[in-house]
């Protein structure tokens, strides 16, 4: 469970940080107010870029914390700039790195219960990771990528996938 969670979380957030760096550099190079990207959406009923990053962060920190059965850190959703989003990603990665393999191992035998849209839901540990946490993480990272790509930031599949080594 550890190998399928913590390293995957860290990699996805690291790739997201690289994507955001490219967005910030593009805004700077083209003299575009960064808030144009930070508040951009793919559709009026979808969250903007900033919220996509916040949710990706929450998904990872809460996923790791629940798998490890430890207290979840709380990060207020106050970011309004690329540097603040990068700081949030770094804090999230730091939290995941603080969770030991021993804390997560055995979570395949645990039931994970939490509130989802006001209702308590329970998952076996592996289902929580593979059917809830990972799909949500990838959805929000992908959406952040697409918002920037849609707005002209030169991104490609290698930016999303990150280094292969």
Exposed/middle/buried for residue 10 (C-beta within 10 Å: 0-12, 13-18, 19+): middle
The pLDDT score that the predictor gives to residue 116 is 87
Residues of the chain with pLDDT under 50: none
The pLDDT score that the predictor gives to residue 71 is 95
* Alpha helices (H) in the chain, listed in sequence order: 2-29, 34-38, 49-68, 82-98, 101-104, 125-127, 134-150, 157-161
The reply to whether the predicted model has a pTM over 0.85 is yes
Q: Which CATH class is domain 2-160?
A: mainly alpha
The pLDDT score that the predictor gives to residue 156 is 95
The pLDDT score that the predictor gives to residue 77 is 97
The pLDDT score that the predictor gives to residue 37 is 98
The pLDDT score that the predictor gives to residue 144 is 98
């Amino acid at each position: 469970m550890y190998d399928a969670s913590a390293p995957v979380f860290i990699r996805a957030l690291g790739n997201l940080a690289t994507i955001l760096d490219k967005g910030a550099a593009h805004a700077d190079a083209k003299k575009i107010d960064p808030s144009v990207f930070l508040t951009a959406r793919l559709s009026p009923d979808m969250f903007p870029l900033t919220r996509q990053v916040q949710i990706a962060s929450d998904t990872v920190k809460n996923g790791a914390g629940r798998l490890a059965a430890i207290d979840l850190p709380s990060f207020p959703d106050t970011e309004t700039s690329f540097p603040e989003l990068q700081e949030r990603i770094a804090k999230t990665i730091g939290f995941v790195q603080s969770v030991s393999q021993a804390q997560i191992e055995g979570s395949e035998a645990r039931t994970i219960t939490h509130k989802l849209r006001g209702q308590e839901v329970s998952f076996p540990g592996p289902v929580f990771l593979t059917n809830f946490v990972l799909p949500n993480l990838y959805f929000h990272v992908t959406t952040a990528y697409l918002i920037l790509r849609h707005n002209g930031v030169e991104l490609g599949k290698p930016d999303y996938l990150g280094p292969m080594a």
